[in-house]
Structure 1
């Protein structure tokens, strides 16, 4: 059978846009390199024409320059054509990529739409409203429980405003009296009618050096005004 009909050859896949673009760009680079070489040759012919006198020699150089210029024009046409093809391929590539992006976007939106519909089927507005009402009732009950637990015991509720102001005035008077006495307790405050020095029977402290000589005292005192102890008593 193979000898009669032969074997069907597998078709090669068509070239991709990227492969075609790369191949055309390589051709464009080759043509661009040829144009640069022709420009250098034309510059050399230009210098020869300037240095050569008018005549057959100069005409020969001009003919060569003309031939090189024609080649340059031809290569420039090929370069422009290749650049146009590359530009068209880029446009097609951009359009293809845009279509692929659009397809992926549509597929993602369809998947999200399907998931959203499935999620909404399990949720109902009535159930959410009922849940919210139940939560509000539970919060009210919790507030009532907290208020009930926070009640005070054995606290009189029949105090009027006059009693409150009287209590505040009495408290202010007590605080003022404590401030006047420098916060000293009553049992530590000295009695105005009693003289502490008289009760202790201590001599008064000296008031410093005086111009008048001290009076004779039958009992000698030290520099602090206290009676001195005889040395004989110290020795014993």
Structure 2
């Protein structure tokens, strides 16, 4: 059968938006190069028109310039058309990328929703409320236990604060009386100034004066011999 009808040819995958955009950009670059060449020719013809005198020669140059100008207009129209096509392709590519992002977002949200539902099955609001009530009851019981353990023993409840203040004042008065009634032999001795009691003279200050008639001594304690002056 394949020999009779032939084998089915494998079809190439359709071009993507990026491939089409790249192809159009290449065509646009080619058109821009052609427009630049025409601009250079127009500038050259413009200089020739300025240099030639009015007449048949100048008219011929003008005709060539008009032909180049028409080609330039045609290429500019093609370039504008290519720019419009690239703009449309960019819009389609932007929309396609937005749809892909939306698909990924929806997939992630579905997975998160499924996981959240599975977690919510293990947690019920009734259980949370019941646990909170139990915790409050336990805290109240704990506070009562702490107050009970901190209660003082054998302390009457009907204690007059004024009576306690009177007893405190009396206790302070007794302490002052006991401190004032200490015998002299039990009180600490006071330090006395021995120098003032003995009336001793003050020690001399400075170096002692050496008598003028005292003969000087050498290192061994012997009297020194005066040096005689040599007369010439």
CA 203–49 in structure 1, closer or farther in 2 if over 3 Å, else same: closer
Runs (4+) of structure 1 moved beyond 3 Å? 151-159, 167-177, 202-206
1:198-233 CA-partner distances (Å, limit 9, x unpaired): xx9x79569xxxxxxxxxxxxxx5316xxxxxxxxx
Structure 2 distance, partners of 1:55, 1:98, is: 64
Structure 2 distance, partners of 1:25, 1:149, is: 89
Aligned to 1:30: 30
CA 49–145 in structure 1, closer or farther in 2 if over 3 Å, else same: same
User: What runs of 5+ residues in structure 1 fail to find an aligned partner?
Assistant: 178-185, 191-195, 207-220, 225-236
User: What runs of 5+ residues in structure 2 fail to find an aligned partner?
Assistant: 178-185, 203-232
Aligned to 2:86: 86
1:149-173 CA-partner distances (Å, limit 9, x unpaired): 3334455655311123225545776
The alignment's TM-score, normalised by the length of structure 1, stands at 0.70
Deviation at 1:136, TM superposition (A): 1.2
Aligned to 2:201: 223
Structure 2 distance, partners of 1:102, 1:76, is: 39
Deviation at 1:90, TM superposition (A): 0.9
Structure 1 distance, partners of 2:159, 2:166, is: 11
CA 173–78 in structure 1, closer or farther in 2 if over 3 Å, else same: farther
CA 223–124 in structure 1, closer or farther in 2 if over 3 Å, else same: same
Aligned to 2:183: none
Aligned to 1:138: 138
Structure 2 distance, partners of 1:141, 1:153, is: 21
Higher RCO (CA-CA < 8 Å; seq separation 6+):
2
The number of equivalent residue pairs is 195
CA 93–166 in structure 1, closer or farther in 2 if over 3 Å, else same: same
Aligned to 1:234: none
Q: Counterpart of 1:188 in 2: which secondary structure?
A: coil
Structure 2 distance, partners of 1:205, 1:151, is: 65
> How much is the aligned-residue C-alpha RMSD, in angstroms?
3.2
Aligned to 2:53: 53
CA 203–48 in structure 1, closer or farther in 2 if over 3 Å, else same: closer
Is 1:151 matched up with 2:182? Answer: no
